[in-house]
Chain A
Amino acid sequence: MHAYIVGVCIGALAGMLGLLLVLRNRALIGDGLAHVSFGAIALGMVMGMYPFVVAVPIVVLASLGIGKLTERATLFGDAAIGIISATGVAGGVLLASMAQGFNVDLFSYLFGNILAVATWEIVFAAALSVIVAVLVLVNYHTFFLTTFDESLARASGIHTKLIEALLMALTGIAVVLSIKAVGVLLVSALLVIPAVTALQLAKSFGGAMTLSVFLAISVILIGITLSFFADIPTGATIVLLSVLIFLFALVWRRTK
């Protein structure tokens, strides 16, 4: 039951934020932030603290850093994600080699384990999920316009840089929470695949957002169930299930 609750929280966030990131050509930012999480989790272990408590602020700062560097497109472009994500992984590897005692724990985060979630972790995930979801829903129409056309948004008096920074920060939180479900290596798939699948099927922005959330929650819940009964890795099951549904959607759209 714990895993299902966390799964619903993560699915809702990944579905909402993933759609916005994909439409803004920022699909790979989840991958970069997940790598940063690896280093941040290692730091949390070295400090003897709960890794996610350390990872959330660090990853949020990294997400804002990526946003800031990407603004200077002529200087950095997508390289901003590469620079920050490589820094995260390198830092994580270095910390792991310095404190060999927690290597096994650290590397378990690479693949996630949602079935081993503690009660207080549910509270942590649920509280952060509610905050993120409320902020996305309150700014829903602003996100819509800034994603559709930034110039129109700015000419409507919207502070687009602030909205971009908010999206980056919320993505940072969602990435850290998602690591528990699918792990560092597969977290970007959870952000990207349900969103891209929804875009194959929906004709309105509201419809795509709803469908993206529904698909992300569904694949997590079904993935948890399948992996539990078949005794297979949860993260990989969730991601492969997402890919399967995406392929069905792709074929359905082509044949429509």
Chain B
Amino acid sequence: MQPIISVNNLSFGYTKTDTALRNVSFSVLKGSYVAIAGPNGAGKTTLIRVLLGLATPYTGDITLFETPQTSFSSWERIGYLPQHTGHFNPLFPATVAEIVRSGLLAEKRFPKRYNTQDKTRVQDALARVGMTDKSDTSVHALSGGQKQRMLLARAIVARPDLLILDEPSTALDQETRSHIFSFLKDEHARGVTILMITHDTAHIGQYADTLLFLDKKVIFSGPFDGSCKDDVLRNYFGGDIAGEHLFNHPHTEH
């Protein structure tokens, strides 16, 4: 299977003395569902920002869809849901449809204009996240969970091959969280590759097939089923008991 993302010896720091990521190497295969886990400050969000070209400069090599990241231009192939997306500028006037529609901008060439089919695509994306009737609603009238679903609709409206999600379930109620994970399961079943940061380690294995455990460097990268037997990861947690919560998933035979 071909890697959609390939990272080799990636190092990055926000300042000259800081090292947020150190010699990180891993691959994301087409059709996989990768969970990125690790403690706070482990560099998970930084890794995603570097992958997307939002944090520079870095050392090492990044390849997206077999193209070096620095010359990659097919951004419509990647749907992105950033962290803490519920905090909008309270002044910014926008309807749900306007925000979701902006997810199509990456595929447009200059002058970037929308066409009549795009309206249907926006409605379709909203239907898939269960927000058909919210198209003309102001974003400020939405709950936190609805905002997250709206931004999920934005991430998938262009039908990307890869979804990159930064803690999509944080601060959401159980119902919304279940809805989002069920939705992502369906997307994955359709062949979409998923790369997701999560703190929800207790349930991580219910949906992901691959684990990338970070703590500024890669502690573990491989199939989820193999993670509980990995000595390095077990040592990282100080033995079975401390790390037990991470392996509480149906894929694993304890």
Contacts and interface: CB of A to CB of B under 8 A. Distances in A.
Given A141-B102, A141-B112, A157-B73, A208 B93 contact: yes
A161 interface: no
B98 interface: yes
Contact of A151 (B82, B98, B106): B82
Contact of B105 (A156, A204, A206): A156
Interface in A152-197: 152-158
A144 interface: yes
A208 B110 CA distance: 24
* Most chain B CB within a 10 A radius of its CB, from A153, A155, A203: A155
B1 interface: no
Interface residues of A, number: 27
A144 to B, nearest CB: 6
Given A138-B111, A156-B105, A204 B80 contact: no
A207 interface: yes
Interface size class of B (residues with CB under 8 A): 20 to 34
Contacts of B241: none
Nearest to B158: A156
Contacts of A138: 110-111
Given A152-B80, A155-B52, A155-B75, A142 B94 contact: no
Contact of B93 (A152, A155, A199): A199
B233 interface: no
A155 B99 CA distance: 15
A204 B94 contact: yes
A122 interface: no
B91 A22 contact: yes
A157 B73 CA distance: 7
Contacts of A207: 93
Given A138-B111, A151-B82, A152-B82, A157 B95 contact: no
B105 A155 contact: no
A116 interface: no
A145 interface: yes
A2 B73 CA distance: 48
Nearest to A19: B93
Contact of B106 (A147, A149, A156, A208): A156
B98 A206 contact: yes
Nearest to A142: B112
A208 B179 CA distance: 33
Contacts of B114: 141
A23 B102 contact: no
B115 to A, nearest CB: 12
A219 B54 CA distance: 42
A203 B75 contact: no
A154 B138 contact: no
B89 interface: yes
B105 A154 contact: no
Contact of B52 (A149, A154, A158): A154
B54 A151 contact: yes
B80 A202 contact: no
* Most chain B CB within a 10 A radius of its CB, from A22, A23, A151: A151
A204 B95 contact: yes
A208 B93 CA distance: 7
Interface string B42-66: 0000000100111000000000000
B113 interface: yes
Interface string A125-154: 000000000000011011011011101111
Contacts of A144: 94, 98, 102
A148 B92 contact: yes
A205 interface: yes
Contacts of B102: 141, 144-145, 148, 152, 156
Contacts of A208: 93
Contacts of B112: 139, 141-142
Given A141-B105, A205-B95, 5 more contacts: A141-B112, A152-B80, A154-B54, A155-B80, A207-B93
8 contacts: A23-B92, A141-B108, A154-B54, A156-B76, A156-B105, A157-B76, A158-B105, A204-B94
| Pairs A-B, 7 closest by C-beta atoms | A157-B75, A156-B106, A203-B138, A208-B93, A155-B80, A204-B95, A145-B102
